[in-house]
Chains A and B, each alone.
Chain A
Amino acid sequence: MAELILRDLAKTYPGASTRATDDVSLDVADGEFMVLLGPSGCGKTTLLRMVAGLELPDAGQIVIGGKDVTYLEPRRRNLSMVFQSYAVFPNKKVADNIGFGLRMRGVPADGVRRKVEWAADLLQLRPYLDRYPSRLSGGQRQRVAVARAIVMDADILLMDEPLSNLDALLRLNFRAELKKLVAELGTTTLYVTHDQVEALSLGDRVAVLRDGVLVQCGPPGAVYDEPADEFVGGFLGSPPMNFLTGTVCTDEGRPRVDFGGQSVPVPAALSSYHGKRLRLGIRPEAIQLGDGGGLRGELQVLEPLGASALLTTDVCGQTIKVQAPATFRAEPGRRLALRLPVDQCRWYDPETSLLLEVR
């Protein structure tokens, strides 16, 4: 167990025109569960591979437990990894796969067997220990990869989308299992996913990457509540955050943002934007349906989603998605009153897309 520090990691693959990771700095505390979240191709795997030592950064530093390991061989870093492609050895039976790392370390056969059985029980692989991976399903192979990683008692546990191939139900169960397991192990974990629900549910902290740049890092609640820029707000949450563009004006001495006939109040801190454009961000579930007050939107589509209903409304030509109670019923075309609680509104600069401080 150890802390992991990444400093200004930059990597450009040979022949590529853009950086795969662009000066990424990240501190993962001892025992912390850090989730790397980002869309496909944003450099998550690249970052993980540099930590593992399978890829060397062009610049920057990797420190594990106070020791600079930037250019150290992978096997000397004392970490274990779940590969995105599983990389479960096809020529070894499941039991030998799980015990591989321990065997390489020279752990006696008896100790290896006990650990393997422990992991197999945990991941429900007991019946398959004697099989070759070619006779397993994709999800089972993925579990073998996870088992192989957790038996290691490594300083750092790296996981690259370890749940991506499980069906929805299994994934839900395993998410909880994994959370419990890693908490028990207490291993410092760097976990890669492009699934925002997974990120929010698992991480002590979530680091959001876009195009190789670390955009925001913080506890899941904070990242969800106050996205540092519009990309994060749009990437986290399903449906994503709503964004509306308006112009700041003054009404009876108070600043308001006008969307073209309709307006909402703006915090006084933003009065410097007078006459300029401003972006309002609000989560669909933060919007309250009421009678009167706030914005008037025309209902366009109603999608029942089981636990809730998703409304697509039109406000002055801009689209706002609203999460309504499952029992909500209305015909398209109806005008709805949308109340936007002031404390749920986030403000963004239209030029930079960055969150504006209002407190």
Chain B
Amino acid sequence: MRSRSPWLLLLPSLVLMAALFGWPLVQAVLAAFRDEGGFTLAHWQRLLTDPYFLPALRNTVLLIVIVLPVQLALAIGMALLVQARPRFIGGHFYLWCVPLAISELAAGLVWLSVFDNRGYLNSLLVSLGLSENGVQWLSYENTTTMLLTVVIAEIWRATSLVFVIVVAGMQVIPRDYDEAAQVFGASLGQRLRHVTLPLLMPSLQVALILRTILALQAFAVAQALTGRDFPLLVGETYEWYVNLRNPAVSSAVALVVLALSLGTALLYLRTVRQPEGAR
């Protein structure tokens, strides 16, 4: 007979998980598919016809597609620099990690002070004589510059998370592999391609999953910079719930975010990894 004690030991955390995650999830699903009369797709219809939903979906996906590769490349580059043990390496490390300690909203406000019509950037442009009245970076008519500002703010804010994960991953790779590659004639690019990146896969996988999920939840930065002019999915849940007082549609948006998170996480788990048997 199997012992029952493992389950007993798991019980507290199971209860906690069920209460804090399971039940709200069930509620959200119920809320999104039900009204007084029972099962309905009305909330979804409402959502799909809402003029903000598709732009929010598009913006969120765009943000991820642009920000993630840039962050990954930057983080790997920074990690390689740190690996080379430059002088003041401790200083570099802490400096690059500062954004980790800053809240999302604060980061948004910092960049608002830069991109605002009378912000630092425009003051600079004007004083350099490059522009007469500055550029309206955050104007609702200018989706491209809005996207650009949000992208820059997100890269600044969240690259350090990827960086920390990549550095931790690099540090556990024994140096010998890279040295062997050097001796056997590999150039810097070949060493990256054949040795460093493949051995870094587990860390990259973690970084990608975490960053994608967090990017799907990006909200405060865009909110601070653009309000609802540059809608994002999680911003929409907030909008529907708080301002439009419609928890049902809000839940539907949340479910879309959930589906996207699950989908991308599964994708990474299947694609970004070491070949079968290499571990």
A105 touches B185 (CB 8 A): yes
A134 touches B180 (CB 8 A): no
C-alpha spacing A53/B201, complex, angstroms: 28
Identify which of A52, A86, A132 contacts B183 (C-beta below 8 A).
A52
Identify which of B182, B187, B194, B277 contacts A89 (C-beta below 8 A).
B194
C-alpha spacing A53/B194, complex, angstroms: 20
- Using an 8 Å CB-CB cutoff, how does the interface string of B167-181 with A read, 1 for contact, 0 for none? 000000010110111
B275 close to A (CB within 8 Å): yes
B190 close to A (CB within 8 Å): yes
A104 touches B185 (CB 8 A): yes
B106 to chain A, nearest CB (A): 40
C-alpha spacing A152/B186, complex, angstroms: 13
**Residues of chain A lying within 8 A (CB to CB) of residue B176:** 83, 85-87
C-alpha spacing A79/B184, complex, angstroms: 8
C-alpha spacing A52/B195, complex, angstroms: 19
Chain B count of residues within 8 A CB distance of the other chain: 23
A190 to chain B, nearest CB (A): 13
B278 touches A91 (CB 8 A): yes
A153 to chain B, nearest CB (A): 12
B274 touches A91 (CB 8 A): yes
A73 touches B182 (CB 8 A): yes
A80 to chain B, nearest CB (A): 7
B4 close to A (CB within 8 Å): no
A91 touches B183 (CB 8 A): no
**Residues of chain B lying within 8 A (CB to CB) of residue A86:** 176
**Residues of chain B lying within 8 A (CB to CB) of residue A100:** 181, 184, 186, 194
Known pairs A90-B199, A100-B194; A74 contacts B183 (CB<8 A):
yes
Known pairs A89-B177, A89-B194, A131-B277; A75 contacts B182 (CB<8 A):
yes
C-alpha spacing A104/B190, complex, angstroms: 8
B180 touches A132 (CB 8 A): no
The listed residue with most B CB atoms (<10 A of its CB), out of A89, A132, A135, is A89
A134 touches B278 (CB 8 A): yes
- Using an 8 Å CB-CB cutoff, how does the interface string of A131-148 with B read, 1 for contact, 0 for none? 110110000000000001
B279 touches A81 (CB 8 A): no
* Residues from 85 to 100 in A contacting B, C-beta threshold 8 Å: 85-87, 89-92, 100
**Residues of chain B lying within 8 A (CB to CB) of residue A135:** 277
B180 touches A83 (CB 8 A): yes
A101 close to B (CB within 8 Å): yes
B198 close to A (CB within 8 Å): yes
* Closest 4 A/B residue pairs (Cβ): A101-B184, A87-B176, A87-B180, A91-B198
- Known A-B contacts: A79-B183, A91-B201, A104-B190. Give 15 more (CB < 8 A): A52-B179, A52-B183, A74-B179, A75-B182, A75-B185, A80-B184, A83-B176, A89-B180, A89-B181, A90-B279, A91-B198, A100-B186, A101-B184, A101-B185, A134-B278
Instruction: Point out residues on B near A: beta carbons under 8 Å.
Output: 174, 176-177, 179-187, 190, 194-195, 198-199, 201, 274-275, 277-279
Query: Could you name 6 residue pairs across A and B whose Cβ atoms are closer than 8 Å?
Result: A53-B183, A75-B182, A101-B184, A101-B185, A104-B185, A104-B190
Instruction: Point out residues on A near B: beta carbons under 8 Å.
Output: 52-54, 73-75, 79-81, 83, 85-87, 89-92, 100-101, 104-105, 131-132, 134-135, 148, 152
